Structure 1
């Protein structure tokens, strides 16, 4: 049984608010009632602040002030993003008791859009990992199976949406941290192009890879939230005339040509399930292994720059897994970063060429369904590498990427677990991602 917002869309919520069937204060009350503490999605609930903001949202609507589709909507915010007056703990003992003085830029954008901040959501420590179970606050649990990983690092944001507690959440994505938990939990997650939603007031992991993104039950809700925060996207027409290579409705081409990107390693059931959504898309290959080396060199170098003093002065305050990765990062030679920056430019040219021939690239979001909490390795190999294997290239290149639910696959223990389909396009082509998602039926 899901929370109050299960099955509800931003469009429907907005209609109910404006018709008087619902109030913002009522929505906040419903959201607070829907919190399932066993899932550990929230680190802080701001009932008083949310009720005050909701009261103001109701008064504005009553007086004719309408800030748009997020007006009066409860939203959750990842706990590496500053919300004035609330703790920002980053899932780490290093920031125990730390309270933010000002709102992050993306939080100001939410407030300007009329959204109501319900509270802060759990994150992998310092957002450095994709499992969602390494934090001073404990593991965030997957609503589909509470013994499974939620995915990370925006773990609490994904679970808050997937459990129906809120219809929308904000997260960050450095190597897949919006898309990984969205796919594992069976919701949609959108990583915009690099820098479109500003990262001011977001604690950095890797400054040139960090993106702020949105998580919602559906791709259309991600679209509505993204446009509410940034303004309407400029439509980018297909470069291809004639029938869609992905089999669009009635033989048309509603979103252009799609290439299927062959995953280097993938659970056969996951690949079959996602590939079935793109039966006629031609297969292409990219150098995932080379892109991974570029990603690691940049992420590790920039992450160690952020944490070098903490590693030297208070290593015991880190979770052991985080400390181990940072110590490994500290051994990264400088020439690896120099080479990675040069190679990033080369890969950008190669993928730009691919996107000259296709409008969208499609692949699984995750090569596996959600593993059990605490797992370090699965049948396909070490988990740390698998978790970001299909998502991190698009952070390296700063391209918009969307994950949408693609059905389920059977897993051990007799449970069916969600699978995500990932769509990628050129910068400025976000409208194509959302148009494609509208036509995908798992």
Structure 2
């Protein structure tokens, strides 16, 4: 079900879009009762789009690498004629009258939308198990979390239901489930993919991203959706700065070992960076991030707290209410810290082409689990899941999670980060890791 593999089969005449989409729908209906990846499966719409894609091919019209490829869309992104639930039982999100810009671009590229995927309510959670539609579940072990908030999209790709899926990433909501489910997850640079028609959580931190089985597929999806192109680059002489994750948050030593070995095996020039040089604030990066996100999420959902509180999941509701206590002064201080951190990261990315570290410091916890013990420490699950991804939402840097192997049968991801405009380096480094 890789997009590039299907594209070759379609162009060789080995199969048709209708056959590909029928297979995707069959697999989705078979697996969704167990994995809960989808909130809505649009059989009729998908089959109609498949017929149209086949007719275009027959007429000699080729719309590009995504022509005829089955995709899924996170259920906070508008698709005309379908409801947008945002994972919530509240009145938030009615039937959409227009496609979001990213959906319009998918259609223009010839992609076939299979349906809408499960998310943590309002996209406000990293675990993927608080939704009006229930928990999305990890294909490697359905007892375990998919991660969130874009968990359903990660599951749909990992389980082979679709080849590509859209998600959003405010703190790690693409990279976390990508790492836990064993697929590629891309958070582009801030605003690289348009967000019109995508319901917001924290506007200065939100990114529209995507999931794919391979880096090549992710690049094809990015090229179709982004406002900037990626030029191919060589990895010869590429320099990597390895950030020991322990300098940011407690990390399972097995995760550190597995991800670092992969980076070293790829043949890059690798230097170990001592945390974030010149970063001297006492607050942790996660505290700064949480202040910004908490205040912005409260502002976005303030009306729902007044009218729909009884319909919101208690855990999500408590987090939204916490944002009420964040003052203008608190927010301004966190915003100043964000800009200071941006300077630190800019300096690092002027010295190294790519930064590398694990995407997530732990393997997938059990659904509903809220505390895990790692290396002698008891960790709050949400904070642990987001600890290594959220810094790059502060800076808006392009970041990508690539599968790095498995521990006890559960996937682990390595995260690559580069500067905006250097996406070619990001994809080139990721491809090198995939073949190492």
Structure 2 length-normalised TM: 0.92
Match of 2:253 in 1: 268
Query: Residues 327-366 of structure 1 correspond to what in structure 2 (within 5 A)?
Result: 327-366=321-360
Deviations 1:295-332 (A, max 9, x none): 11111111000111211222111001100111111111
Distance 1:58 1:310 in 2: 44
Structure 1 length-normalised TM: 0.91
Match of 1:436 in 2: 429
Match of 2:107 in 1: 111
Match of 2:180 in 1: 184
Whether 2:380 is the aligned partner of 1:391: answer: no
Deviation at 1:236, TM superposition (A): 8.6
Deviation at 1:338, TM superposition (A): 0.5
Distance 1:190 1:330 in 2: 31
Deviation at 1:291, TM superposition (A): 2.2
Q: Mark the runs of 5 or more structure 2 residues left unpaired by the alignment.
A: none
Deviation at 1:32, TM superposition (A): 0.8
Q: Residues 236 and 33 (structure 1 numbering): CA distance in 2 closer, same or farther, change over 3 Å?
A: closer
Match of 1:225 in 2: 221
Whether 2:365 is the aligned partner of 1:371: answer: yes
Match of 1:245 in 2: none
Match of 1:241 in 2: none
Distance 1:340 1:125 in 2: 25
Query: Residues 70-89 of structure 1 correspond to what in structure 2 (within 5 A)?
Result: 70-89=66-85
Whether 2:201 is the aligned partner of 1:205: answer: yes
Contact 1:88 1:95 in 2 (8 A): no
Match of 1:68 in 2: 64
Report SS of the residue matched to 2:47.
helix
Contact 2:50 2:112 in 1 (8 A): yes
Contact 1:84 1:103 in 2 (8 A): yes
Deviation at 1:97, TM superposition (A): 8.1
Contact 2:70 2:162 in 1 (8 A): yes
- Which is further off, 395-404 or 379-388? 379-388
- Which is further off, 78-87 or 92-101? 92-101
Report SS of the residue matched to 1:408.
strand
Q: Mark the runs of 5 or more structure 1 residues left unpaired by the alignment.
A: 239-247, 411-415
Deviations 1:367-392 (A, max 9, x none): 00000000011014111211110001
Whether 2:142 is the aligned partner of 1:146: answer: yes
Q: Residues 237 and 55 (structure 1 numbering): CA distance in 2 closer, same or farther, change over 3 Å?
A: closer
Whether 2:120 is the aligned partner of 1:135: answer: no
Deviation at 1:231, TM superposition (A): 6.6
Deviation at 1:345, TM superposition (A): 1.4
Report SS of the residue matched to 1:278.
helix
Deviation at 1:365, TM superposition (A): 0.2
Deviation at 1:225, TM superposition (A): 1.0
Distance 1:128 1:152 in 2: 8
